[in-house]
Amino acid sequence: MNGAAAVASSAACVASAMTSQWYTNRSPETLDAMKIRELGHVSLFVRDLDATRRFYRDVLGLAETGTGKDGRIVFFSAGVHHHDISCELARAEGPAPQPKGLPGLYHIAFDVGATEEELAAARRHVESHGLTPFGEYAAGFCVRDPDGHEIELYVDSGSTRAAAPSRNLSGRS
């Protein structure tokens, strides 16, 4: 193999459709990459802050931790961070979330416990608020927020947490 082919072969890069940056498919062990400790938060544009509050605060039970931009943003927390989700009033009308399979946000997942009983209680709770679960699997299900974003609610018995570093991340979520 000549030098140029070796470089191309070892890089095994693909271009991002959104940027001129390059991403590699090489094993993380071979890269000198930065270390992300955790996801800080997710920010969504929404159509109705009152409906958003009712869903994230009253249905999902997240704590409303504040507002910003003169009340155009509301922050919600699962309890560890100031906010895990920020929801900002949309600045313009636009389409609903994209259908599954198109580029964009697919879903947001929340761990609701560790047992089947906790999952069943979460299901009963969302149903009592008029939501219809879908996409069910053994450890979870999904509902939609007022803007149509898919919200996954799941239980984690600990076995998936322990296996997380070596599991195939293209699997469940």
Q: What is the pLDDT of residues 14-73, one digit of tens each?
A: 554 555 555 566 665 656 778 887 889 999 999 999 999 999 999 999 999 999 999 999
The answer to whether position 162 is within a domain reads yes
In a domain, 80, yes or no: no
Question: Are the beta carbons of 148 and 165 closer than 8 angstroms?
Answer: no
Distance CA 64, CA 75 (A): 6
111 in any annotated domain:
yes
Q: Which residue would you say has higher pLDDT here, 160 or 41? A: 41
CATH number assigned to the domain comprising residue 164 = 3.10.180.10
Q: Which residues contact 43 (CB under 8 A, 6 or more apart)?
A: 85, 86, 87, 88
- Looking at the structure of the chain, the number of domains it has is 1
Three-class DSSP category at 124:
helix
- For the segment 86-105, the average pLDDT, to the nearest whole number, is 83
| The token pair that represents 109 in the structure block | 């997942």
Q: Tell me, yes or no, whether 155 lies in a domain.
A: yes
In a domain, 165, yes or no: yes
Is residue 46 domain-resident?
no
Residue 16 lies in a domain: no
* Helix or strand holding residue 7 (H, E): helix 3-11
Task: Answer yes or no: is pLDDT of 9 > 60.
Answer: no
Query: Residue 110 above 70 pLDDT?
Result: yes
Neighbours of 78 (CB within 10 A): 14
What value does the mean pLDDT take over residues 124-148?
96
Query: Is 118 part of a structural domain of the chain?
Result: yes
- What average pLDDT does the structure give for the chain? 81
160 in helix, strand or coil? helix
Mean pLDDT in residue range 92-106:
79
The confidence score (pLDDT) of residue 158 equals 79
Which range in 23-32, 85-94, 100-109 is most confidently predicted, on average pLDDT? 85-94
pTM equals: 0.72
Contacts with 49 (C-beta within 8 Å, 6 or more apart), sequence order: 71, 72, 74, 87, 89
Q: Can you give the residue range of the structural domain that contains 156?
A: 106-173
Beta bridge partners, 76, equal: 64, 85
